[in-house]
Structure 1
């Protein structure tokens, strides 16, 4: 938790919302309050069912979550026009359309990128 709160913009975190089965443990909640005294620790009623309820709501109303931040970079292997100044010669392949560079990682989403529903 300490590592997660150091990533991104920790000053924006004002609370920790505890959900899932272990969240119903009074010992865990008290430990969280001791370790993170500046943050409000919220344990909702039926914390063990909160994840399931959230999944059901999202399944029926996918636009209920409007924005996410990607934790990882995602992409695909691609083939681009070969540029001798920036591509290694061992990745050069000859095609009917000319020289190409194979096995290039083409980024689709970068880590820490905001992903907004409906935006391309």
Structure 2
């Protein structure tokens, strides 16, 4: 530690400790050992713990979750007695359980899930997922900046967010959601979007494009006969988006990691 202090700061270790202005709360002992008072150590953890408590309280405001009586604390961070004390004091109306070897609980759960995926029956969506479409223009909803006249002489709005599933919605494993669309050209380009907003209006609002699903349609068939179905399949750690042409049965798939 003394060599590192000299190398990176140009100061001796004692000089460097004195410049921290912690007084007697942080002292050098034995030449290269630091003695740090508990209050200082707790302060290092306060910021992440405050965010953890805030996040848990936000979750408990959800009508589907507020009646949950017990919180199970797992992971290496959960083994800290200070973390446990803070959760018990800041969320007093919930029972807190810390299993033995809390740090291994997450790993054991992942191993069990690898052997039997049926142990998870549903997921609560972290994001709203959908695609970009053009809708008929509605002056009460759409901005004039999105307004245009289509080839049939009808007013439409571009870049509309067509929602397949919303944030905080509980989705059973292996749930499939399908919507039908009519192509505007012989190559359909379907960008897939996600956002933290529950009711997004446009895909140009704060959102993230996850990927693009491209389907080339047969040009020997009239475009009016080439309607297609877009399906979101929520099976596990991946979101699979499938585009299927009804007349030909041709399919294109796109796999996206939905837990990031």
Q: TM-score, normalised by structure 1?
A: 0.76
Instruction: Find the counterpart in structure 2 of residue 7 from structure 1.
Output: 62
Go from structure 1 to structure 2 and tell me whether the alpha carbon gap of 1:98 and 1:55 turns closer, same or farther (over 3 Å shift).
farther
Asked if the contact 1:91–1:103 (Cα under 8 Å) also holds between the matched residues in 2, the reply is: no
Q: Which has the larger radius of gyration?
A: 2
Q: Which runs of 5+ in 1 are unaligned?
A: none
Say whether residues 1:39 and 2:78 are aligned partners.
Answer: no
Asked if the contact 2:131–2:163 (Cα under 8 Å) also holds between the matched residues in 1, the reply is: yes
CA distance in 1 between counterparts of 2:65 and 2:169 reads 16
Q: Which runs of 5+ in 2 are unaligned?
A: 1-55, 177-260
- Would you tell me which structure has more helix in proportion to its own residues? 1
CA distance in 2 between counterparts of 1:89 and 1:20 reads 49
Instruction: Find the counterpart in structure 2 of residue 50 from structure 1.
Output: 105
Give CA-to-partner distance per residue, 1:43-92, whole Å, 9 cap, x none.
Answer: 11111121222222223322211012224322221234x34656547442
Give the RMSD, CA atoms, in angstroms: 2.6
Say whether residues 1:119 and 2:175 are aligned partners.
Answer: yes
Q: TM-score, normalised by structure 2?
A: 0.39
CA distance in 2 between counterparts of 1:83 and 1:66 reads 39
SS at match of 2:175: coil
User: Which structure exhibits the higher relative contact order, with contacts defined as CA atoms closer than 8 Å and separated by 6 or more residues?
Assistant: 1
Say whether residues 1:61 and 2:113 are aligned partners.
Answer: no
Q: How many residues align?
A: 118
